[in-house]
Chains A and B, each alone.
Chain A
Amino acid sequence: MAYEDGDPPLSLHLLRPISESPLRLDPLSRSFPSAAHRRASSTSHPSHDIHLPTPAVRHGSRAESERLASSQPELADADARLVFVGDPGRTDPHLQLAGNAIRTAKYSPLTFLPRNLFEQFHRVAYIYFLVIAVLNQLPQLAVFGRGASVLPLAFVLLVTAVKDAYEDWRRHRSDRIENNRVASVVDPRDGQFRPKRWKDVRVGEVLKVFADETNPCDMVLLATSDPTGVAYVQTINLDGESNLKTRYANHETTSRPIGDAHPFAAGLICCEQPNRNIYGFLANMEIDGKRVSLGPSNIILRGCELKNTAWAIGVAVYAGSETKVMLNSTGAPSKRSRLETHMNRETLLLSAVLITLCSVVSICNGIWLGKHRNDLELSQFFRKRDYSDSDKNYNYYGIGMQVFFTFLMSVIVFQIMIPISLYISMELVRLGQAYFMIRDTNLYDESSNSKFQCRALNINEDLGQIKYVFSDKTGTLTENKMEFQCASIRGRDYGSGKVPLQDNGGTHSVLAGDQIWKPKMSVKTDPELVALLQSRVETEQGNQAREFFLALACCNTIVPLIVETTDQKQKLIDYQGESPDEQALVFAAASYGFVLIERTSGHIVVDVLGVRQRYDVLGLHEFDSDRKRMSVIIGCADKTVKLYVKGADISMFGVIHKTIDLDIIRATETSLIAYSSLGLRTLVVGMRKLSRNDFEEWRSAYENASTLLIGRGRLLRAVSSNVERDLQILGASGIEDKLQQGVPEAIESMRQAGIKVWVLTGDKQETAISIGFSCKLLTSEMTQIVINSNSRESCKKSLQDAVAMSSKLAAISLDSENILRGTGSSRIALALVIDGNSLVYILRTELEEELFKVATVCDVVLCCRVAPLQKAGIVALMKNRTDNMTLAIGDGANDVSMIQMADVGIGISGQEGRQAVMASDFSMGQFRFLVPLLLVHGHWNYQRMAYMILYNFYRNAVFVFILFWYVLYTAYSLTTAISEWSSVLYSVIYTALPTIIVGTLDKDLSRRTLIKYPQLYRAGQRDERYNLKFFILTMMDSIWQSLAIFYIPYLAYRHSVVDGSSLGDLWTLAVVILVNIHLAMDVFRWNWITHASIWGCIVATVISVIIIDSIWMLPGYWAIFHIMETGLFWLSESRIFHLSLACQPSKGLDRMVQTHNPITLSDGVLLWSCFW
């Protein structure tokens, strides 16, 4: 574990970043991993007579202990769950606890309709539909027939319901499969294990799980095939981490003979009520009158797979919906894309237009009625009175009411001004875009075999507008595959380049009987150091070196696994652990001859230079982010007790005995600086021999602390701090974390694309800067502004200096720019390097503003030694102060908060666990995929979605305006010439498909061009494809086109015998052809699907119109055929057709010019576009 930084080791036991989203796991300590040493020896050791009766419980982090202290003072009987082991009847006499049947399906056949409708109507759009449809049912307002008014809503509801039903059916199916799996459960009658379906498992029952089986419920381990009660589990289904984690059965229960009828009866477990914290569990068990405490290392959660353990027996404590995995199953956070936010703004504008239109119509109607007040009775087309019904007025309630009704009716008539169908189209298009992103082979990572994943479906188009990328370093820019490079032992530096390293991986293998066990990976070794280790001469240096490697081999939480190979004689030792740093150290120790062979709960076996040695693990203080170190207490064969500590340098130098070995400390510090300037991750190792008294003192304190139910974590930390002092320094190690493939190129591409890359890392400043150089983030021409201050005042001062400096530099570069205009950027690039300590004084204070000013003028910002929450704070700083879009990319648990804070969060599915992926909106395998993702897919998504939104606005507005112009010729009575069915089908059949197809498939520029010219990405950053100007242009365009469509037939058919339906059909066909041709004109690349959808839609429209006109019930019966017989029809249609070809008002110009498209930009285009 790299304690030097707090960055990658978080994978292990890091405090979880306080998550921003309430749906996430409780932000408590992540504690369960490596419990390997949790349980200090529970078996008494012959030579030491050390007996720790209770299993040690891991040190909780501060968060956990605080929670324990505050919110849950005690496991009071009242709110605790009592589980009688092996007795489900007594545990749950009234069947009040959840059974183990799970139900992820939302609906049952009975509840589907009401619940689904209820959920669907949560959307504003649907409520709008509904209100319109309800309005239309009032007799005074009946604009459309019943069928026509309800159809659009019904259609949308039906489609969504079918989709939901299908998804739910799939959930039902998987639930059924899950519930019908079989587990082996103790039959309370005879104590035999019998198969039982998962859904019938009850709390209190004793289960047996075999290797590679999935655990059916949360159960407390009672016994395992391992005599010490160890079980290994894989939690890939739970948190996605594929590493093995260790779980323990309690000593009291482990020793029970297996096979007895009720071996565990009489046990009573008192545990917490179900909660969603998968890393915490608090309980105690009374067995044989003894009371033992249980922690998270004693429980196996539902969904875990048992590995490397033949069987495990446990008692179910939480079942079904109360299991932690089920309590945690929540969806991805919902974000709303910027484009959609803007679109909603424009939708409001459209509502204003709608209201204006309606007001115009109703006011004109009022004026008309007022003017013809006296004519209404005799005008044949109005006839106010109903003579059959005692001469009352028919449907006439005075001018005021008429105006009011007209207003409401016009809302109904013009309803599609608000393009509700757009919301559905957008969802479909996003689905298509997600499909293409997922299926893109360029986003597939061979090394981790991971595909691109879209976890959030709402923000695809945001990928095209990113301005700031906040990147984690370890595992994101680098591979997080740690390799031990060099060590400084007793102040002497080995392996950092003086002597060529040897690749002698095969040399250190362990003989076990007739078999050879070899570490799976080997590390290049320094021959000098190897010689020193193997020399028989007792030198101080040699002893220290041996101690150093022994410390590396045992001070960790690595579990060695013996893996079979094809060769029977040879087996490989694989080190399973959660921290890549620890793995690297153990592999390094193995290569130098200190091979960790076995780890059980109480001891480890290390092959020390060919001699197999057993060490008792007496105690282990796990890593936590406050101490930034871990320690282990080892009992050696010679009955000495040693404490080995490793940790980050600052934390270690605080506890090292400063008075002796001052030279060594100095030399080590020098080596550390050298290592980190090479970009290596450093760790310092120390040890202390414990005297009998020291040990006893520690032991009693440790015992006291670990039996506590409350405040255990805090006390254990105090115990560890107490013992980790006055250390003798052994040395330091340097671990290399290689840059991922293609990172410098990706960063350069993003720089050209106008994306600012910020690196936020937990590493120290030197390491961060050196990585910055190696990934080309920093260049030697850049002026670095470094801020690392320890007080508020100095922070303020350095910030002010930085502001002054940046403005001075900006002035200089501005001058030089004027001189050298046209020759390219001569601006002096600035880089800001700031550390976490300074950020403490800056974030959330008034200094934020200063930092913001400095950061925005800098090309690169490097933040080192930042805590997870600071990462989120920095993202928030930029997100809240600018309109620019932010993207955070990271791979570890420490990046979760930043990923959730940013507009777009990307998780790297890499070496560290999968929390980052789980919290992210998108996930992928490599940092460099950002380039195709943003520059290609992001650009496409943004361009497509922006176009689709504008087009939908245009399409519906054209239609509404045509209706509106006609209304002006109907005495403002809201008659529509276009038949009501055509109005309804307009946005559903006539014009829906092409926009979705184009929105999914069209490409303005090819992948090659976009990659070659990253500058093209800036269009998205500057909102060039969708902005208010475009919206207004689009609206003006649609008004102009609707005028043309309306008035060409109007003027052609004026004073003729044409009837309303025929003219309506003409208009219908005209508008459908026009908007489809308009779309066709905007298509950049025509493939067969585009052709089929656009021309198909026009054909479908003609067919629909013919079908509608073949219904004798409707007034428009046969109208289409009659109008098609007239020559005027064809002339008008072709005129409109031509018009639609020519009508590409200023839009075309804008598009061509702003696309920066080197290929399409031509005089012809410009002139063509200028014309209209």
Chain B
Amino acid sequence: MNNVNGSVVGSSSGSGDGSAPRRNSKRPKYSRFTQQELPACKPILTPKWVISVFTLIGVVFVPIGIASLMASNDVVEIVDRYDNVCVPSNMTSDKVAYIQNDDVDKTCSRTLKVPKHMSQPIYVYYQLDNFYQNHRRYVKSRNDAQLRKSSQANETSGCDPEKRTKDGAPIVPCGLIAWSLFNDTYIFATGNKNLTVNKKEISWKSDRDHKFGKDVFPKNFQSGPLIGGKKLNDTQPLNEQEDLIVWMRTAALPTFRKLYGRIEQDLNAGDVISVTLKNNYNTYSFSGKKKLVLSTSSWLGGKNDFLGIAYLAVGGLCFFLAVAFTIVYLVKPRKLGDPSYLSWNRNPAGH
């Protein structure tokens, strides 16, 4: 076949047109659906289309990228790793022994310098590295029914291996997550004035209202031979134990931050914050790191340049492509739907 346009082969469709419909005819009823002729649009990527889409993407993405980068830039973040420095120099050889020794005073002082003006609220986070809060053993080890209702205290299924005490009494809240509650504490001061840390409403309201019961009180908690973390106040209902609620929203990744509280006053550039912390939490046994983070926030959240850069890069690339395509289109235009590019026209021998 050399000439596709010339030799149109007779279509074999259409049979017996025009004959009157007879009785009992099995002729399928005509409808656009059954004949697969529903009105449809068929987007064709013409050069103009492609170029304008790329341009549009560039136009939209570059500003977004710039805005995100600026937002991220505005965020002031102070990060201080303290897990190693807070170990007394005579105990660095066996940090686990240090952290497990109740007789050693765990108090530790750190000073932080405010690099830029930080406007309130300033969020106080602790950051753990290499702590697999998403480990399967760990994630599963909780019981949401028990947390919600005091009548369900015996409901400890799934909480292994922190289910019941040795004598069989149910632990509330049960499970590894609650058991390993983070228990470092921080006290902040600038000069000699204490900075109050607001620890209210640091958890999700939905959790306080629906997930943790207001009539559920801790029972038999941290009473085993191995203490995992913080002990809870037995007289406070779970829905007020916000550290626990925050902790129990298990982190997605092994490096994570948890909200500790908010400092509700501005800090000026050059201010020196002295932090008195209790280095109670054992991250030494798995070589985890502990960091204290003070950060302001923006509409984007915390400090993160990634998305801004990504948007800028893609936006720029799109602009570049739009330009490149335009040049190609102008220099070497090609007819849309040129049949000479059909394989059987390019390769007449056929197969």
Q: Which residue of A lies closest to B166 (CB)?
A: A388
B217 at the interface (CB under 8 A from A): no
CB atoms of B40 and A1087 under 8 A apart: yes
CB atoms of A1015 and B252 under 8 A apart: no
CB atoms of A1164 and B45 under 8 A apart: yes
CB atoms of A970 and B132 under 8 A apart: yes
Give B225 Cβ to nearest chain A Cβ, in Å: 5
User: Given known contacts A381-B176, A970-B132, A1115-B139, is B44 in contact with A1160 (CB within 8 Å)?
Assistant: yes
A1161 contacts across to B, CB distance below 8 A: 336-338, 341
A503 at the interface (CB under 8 A from B): no
CB atoms of B11 and A1160 under 8 A apart: no
> Contact check: which of A438, A1086, A1160 meets B45 at CB < 8 Å?
A1160
CB atoms of A1168 and B44 under 8 A apart: no
Give B207 Cβ to nearest chain A Cβ, in Å: 7
CB atoms of B286 and A372 under 8 A apart: yes
User: Given known contacts A824-B2, A1088-B38, A1163-B333, is B252 in contact with A1156 (CB within 8 Å)?
Assistant: no
B89 at the interface (CB under 8 A from A): no
CB atoms of A825 and B1 under 8 A apart: yes
Q: Which residue of B lies closest to A1114 (CB)?
A: B144
CB atoms of B180 and A1171 under 8 A apart: no
A970 contacts across to B, CB distance below 8 A: 132, 134-136, 254
Give B265 Cβ to nearest chain A Cβ, in Å: 22
User: Given known contacts A388-B166, A438-B28, A823-B348, is B9 in contact with A1057 (CB within 8 Å)?
Assistant: no
CB atoms of B134 and A977 under 8 A apart: yes
Q: Which residue of B lies closest to A1060 (CB)?
A: B252
A1165 at the interface (CB under 8 A from B): yes
A1027 at the interface (CB under 8 A from B): no
A1162 at the interface (CB under 8 A from B): yes
Give A892 Cβ to nearest chain B Cβ, in Å: 22
CB atoms of A1058 and B251 under 8 A apart: yes
CB atoms of B27 and A446 under 8 A apart: yes
CB atoms of B26 and A451 under 8 A apart: yes
A1138 at the interface (CB under 8 A from B): yes
B226 contacts across to A, CB distance below 8 A: 378, 383, 385, 387
B63 at the interface (CB under 8 A from A): no
A1050 contacts across to B, CB distance below 8 A: 253
CB atoms of A1164 and B47 under 8 A apart: yes
CA distance A1159 to B336 in the complex (A): 7
CA distance A1012 to B1 in the complex (A): 13
B161 at the interface (CB under 8 A from A): yes
Chain A contacts with B in 1125-1145, Cβ cutoff 8 A: 1126-1128, 1131-1132, 1135, 1138, 1142
User: Given known contacts A1022-B351, A1052-B306, A1085-B40, is B250 in contact with A742 (CB within 8 Å)?
Assistant: no
B28 contacts across to A, CB distance below 8 A: 438-441, 444, 451
Q: Which of B13-21, B113-121, B189-197 contacts A (4 or more CB under 8 A)?
A: B13-21
Give B173 Cβ to nearest chain A Cβ, in Å: 13
Q: Which of A579-587, A660-668, A923-931 contacts B (4 or more CB under 8 A)?
A: A923-931
User: Beta-carbon contacts of A146-159 to B below 8 Å, as 1s and 0s?
Assistant: 00000000000000
B257 at the interface (CB under 8 A from A): yes
CA distance A445 to B15 in the complex (A): 7
> Contact check: which of B131, B139, B142 meets A380 at CB < 8 Å?
B131
B36 at the interface (CB under 8 A from A): yes
User: What is the number of residues of chain A that contact chain B, defined by CB distance less than 8 Å?
Assistant: 120
User: Beta-carbon contacts of B263-305 to A below 8 Å, as 1s and 0s?
Assistant: 0000000000000000000100111000000000001111010
CB atoms of B338 and A1158 under 8 A apart: yes
Give A1134 Cβ to nearest chain B Cβ, in Å: 8
Q: Which residue of A lies closest to B325 (CB)?
A: A1167
CB atoms of B10 and A749 under 8 A apart: yes
Q: Which residue of B lies closest to A1112 (CB)?
A: B210
A1165 contacts across to B, CB distance below 8 A: 44-45, 50
A774 at the interface (CB under 8 A from B): no
CB atoms of A1162 and B36 under 8 A apart: no
A436 at the interface (CB under 8 A from B): yes
CA distance A1050 to B226 in the complex (A): 34
CA distance A1063 to B133 in the complex (A): 14
CB atoms of B252 and A1138 under 8 A apart: no
A1055 at the interface (CB under 8 A from B): yes
CA distance A763 to B287 in the complex (A): 89
CA distance A752 to B127 in the complex (A): 70
CB atoms of A752 and B211 under 8 A apart: no
A262 at the interface (CB under 8 A from B): no
B132 contacts across to A, CB distance below 8 A: 379, 381-382, 970-971, 973
User: Beta-carbon contacts of B1-35 to A below 8 Å, as 1s and 0s?
Assistant: 11110001111111110010010111111100011
A1113 at the interface (CB under 8 A from B): yes
A336 at the interface (CB under 8 A from B): no
> Contact check: which of A969, A973, A1122 meets B204 at CB < 8 Å?
A1122
B78 contacts across to A, CB distance below 8 A: none
CA distance A1087 to B337 in the complex (A): 23
Q: Which residue of B lies closest to A1012 (CB)?
A: B8
CB atoms of A1163 and B257 under 8 A apart: no
Chain A contacts with B in 959-991, Cβ cutoff 8 A: 969-971, 973-975, 977
Chain A contacts with B in 343-394, Cβ cutoff 8 A: 372, 375, 377-383, 385-389, 394
A1056 contacts across to B, CB distance below 8 A: 256-257, 301-302, 304
Q: Which of B80-88, B104-112, B236-244, B307-315 contacts A (4 or more CB under 8 A)?
A: B307-315
User: Beta-carbon contacts of B46-90 to A below 8 Å, as 1s and 0s?
Assistant: 111111000001000100100010010000000000000000000
A1013 at the interface (CB under 8 A from B): yes
CB atoms of B161 and A387 under 8 A apart: yes
CA distance A1156 to B338 in the complex (A): 10
Give B309 Cβ to nearest chain A Cβ, in Å: 10
CB atoms of A441 and B27 under 8 A apart: yes
Give A845 Cβ to nearest chain B Cβ, in Å: 31
Q: Which residue of B lies closest to A935 (CB)?
A: B12
CB atoms of B328 and A1163 under 8 A apart: yes
A1117 at the interface (CB under 8 A from B): yes
Give A391 Cβ to nearest chain B Cβ, in Å: 8
CB atoms of A380 and B251 under 8 A apart: no
Give B136 Cβ to nearest chain A Cβ, in Å: 4
User: Given known contacts A754-B350, A1015-B344, is B339 in contact with A1158 (CB within 8 Å)?
Assistant: yes
Chain A contacts with B in 1071-1086, Cβ cutoff 8 A: 1084-1086
CB atoms of B344 and A1163 under 8 A apart: no
User: Given known contacts A444-B15, A1055-B257, A1171-B321, is B45 in contact with A378 (CB within 8 Å)?
Assistant: no
CB atoms of B134 and A1164 under 8 A apart: no
Q: Which residue of A lies closest to B335 (CB)?
A: A1162
User: Beta-carbon contacts of A1024-1060 to B below 8 Å, as 1s and 0s?
Assistant: 0000000000000000000000001011111111111
Give B213 Cβ to nearest chain A Cβ, in Å: 11
Chain A contacts with B in 1005-1029, Cβ cutoff 8 A: 1007-1008, 1011-1015, 1018, 1022
Q: List 17 A-B contacts (CB under 8 A).
A: A381-B137, A388-B165, A449-B26, A824-B2, A824-B3, A825-B349, A1011-B12, A1012-B8, A1015-B344, A1050-B253, A1054-B304, A1055-B256, A1055-B302, A1056-B256, A1084-B42, A1121-B206, A1131-B311
| B residues at A contact (CB < 8 Å) | 1-4, 8-16, 19, 22, 24-30, 34-36, 38-51, 57, 61, 64, 68, 71, 96, 125, 127, 131-139, 142, 144-145, 148, 160-166, 168, 176, 179-180, 204, 206-207, 210-211, 224-226, 228-229, 249-259, 282, 285-287, 299-302, 304, 306-307, 310-311, 314, 321, 325, 328-329, 332-334, 336-339, 341-344, 348-351
9 tightest Cβ-Cβ pairs between the two chains A and B? A446-B16, A380-B180, A824-B2, A386-B161, A394-B161, A378-B285, A1118-B206, A1164-B47, A439-B34
| A residues at B contact (CB < 8 Å) | 372, 375, 377-383, 385-389, 394-395, 435-436, 438-442, 444-447, 449-451, 742, 745-746, 748-749, 752, 754, 817, 821-825, 827, 926, 928-929, 931-932, 940, 969-971, 973-975, 977, 1001, 1003, 1007-1008, 1011-1015, 1018, 1022, 1048, 1050-1064, 1084-1090, 1112-1115, 1117-1118, 1121-1122, 1126-1128, 1131-1132, 1135, 1138, 1142, 1154, 1156, 1158-1165, 1167-1168, 1171
